[in-house]
Structure 1
Amino acid sequence: MGKQFQTVMQMVAVISMALILGACGEDLGVDQHGRKVAVAGPEGQWLVINYWAQWCAPCRSEIPELNGLEQRFEDGSVRVLGVNFDGLQGEKLSQAVEEMGIRFTVLAQDPAARFGLPVTEVLPVTYLIDDQGRMRERLLGEQTAEALIARISALRKEG
């Protein structure tokens, strides 16, 4: 029994290290389905990172707008990523995403450190990340797809 336990623990350690080292590359961790989320996308891709929670009424209203935004940019030039404010993981995250009707990618890990995002204390909050990985804008409160498109367009023109 002890030898089997030790073997299993060694295998767990090796798998864990592989996952940790794999996460250090060009990815944002995993999504609500446990799939790896790559950073790399089409050249010029902007990210819209939205923090949401099930208990947040404006977040619930905003979800259809973000779904529409994701759908509008099927070419990948703008990608919508969600982050659950309460840090839900695994099956709880998947269930919350389904309940909220979210059709865009939801990250299991908070990408705040990677992009230098400030601590989020209000919801909803949306960050616009340019194609160089720089945070360009922090938008507080409920957003519409049209307003986000207009803001991204203006920021692109600014360079």
Structure 2
Amino acid sequence: MTRRLIGVLAIITTLLLSGCGNDYGVDQYGKKVASERLDKQWAVVNYWAEWCGPCRTEIPELNALAEQLKGQNVGVFGVNFDNVQGEELKAASEKLGIKFTVLAQNPEEIFDIPRSEALPVTYIIDDKGKVREQLMGEQTAQGVLAKLKALRG
């Protein structure tokens, strides 16, 4: 009986732990970002700042990209370069017209993203959590889609 109980508990523990993904914190609205949105999915992670002119020009392209990628196991995520948080992050995101998810917590350690001093910079991360491409400068939706297609193909 005891051995059977231990076996059942071991199975339950394994199932519970396997459901635990990475902690991506909250988005620009303070809502928890579900690990299923990034774990085992491709991701386009863009670093931006309010003071960055090319970032402002690039945002509509990234909004269009996020819309085009819906339902394709690829997410578009932003990260504020200056690490602003809370209401300040929400205000900055809204001011720039960002419609995709902005991660309040920088995922650089989770994905081993190299620190860049230049903006904008966009990283394409594969479904195993590996950085596959670093795109420097302003991107277009079509350019990122072409890169994704080449990397996934």
Range of TM-score over shorter length:
0.7 to 0.9
Which amino acid in 1 is paired with 2:117?
Answer: E
Q: Tell me, in whole angstroms, the C-alpha distance in 2 between the residues paired with 1:125 and 1:41.
A: 21
CA distance in 1, matches of 2:56, 2:140: 12
The answer as to whether partners of 1:51 and 1:85 remain within 8 angstroms in 2 is: yes
Quote the Cα distance in structure 1 between the aligned partners of 2:79 and 2:124: 14
* From 75, 80, 84, the counterpart of 1:84: 80
Matching residue within 52, 63, 66 for 2:48:
52
Unaligned runs of 5+ in 1: 1-23
AA paired with 1:49? V
Task: Tell me how large the CA RMSD over aligned residues is.
Answer: 1.7
Distance in 2 between residues matched to 1:84 and 1:65, nearest whole Å: 17
**Which residue of the partner structure matches residue 139 of structure 1?**
135
Give the number of equivalent residue pairs. 134
Q: Structure 2 CA distance, aligned partners of 1:108 and 1:52?
A: 12
| Per-residue deviation, 1:77 | 1.9
% same residue:
57
Q: Secondary structure, in 3 states, of the residue corresponding to 1:37?
A: coil
Structure 1 segment 109-128 matched on structure 2, within 5 A: 109-128=105-124
**Counterpart position of 2:14:** none
Q: Is the Cα contact below 8 Å between 1:45 and 1:76 reproduced in 2?
A: no
Q: Structure 1 residues 25 and 156 mapped into 2: Cα distance closer, same or farther (>3 Å)? A: closer
Q: Determine the C-alpha separation between the residues in 2 that align with 1:76 and 1:36.
A: 21
Confirm or deny: 8 A CA contact 2:42 2:126 kept in the other structure: yes
- Cα distance, 1:39 vs structure 2: 2.6
User: Structure 2: how far apart are the matches of 1:38 and 1:153?
Assistant: 25
CA distance in 1 between counterparts of 2:72 and 2:91 reads 26
After superposition, the Cα gap between the structure-2 partners of 1:65 and 1:36, relative to the gap in structure 1 and judged at 3 Å, is: same
CA distance in 2, matches of 1:141, 1:129: 17
Structure 1 stretches of 4+ with a deviation exceeding 6 A read: none
2:36 matched residue in structure 1: 40
Change (3 A) 1:119 1:39: same
Structure 2, unaligned runs of 5 or more: 1-19
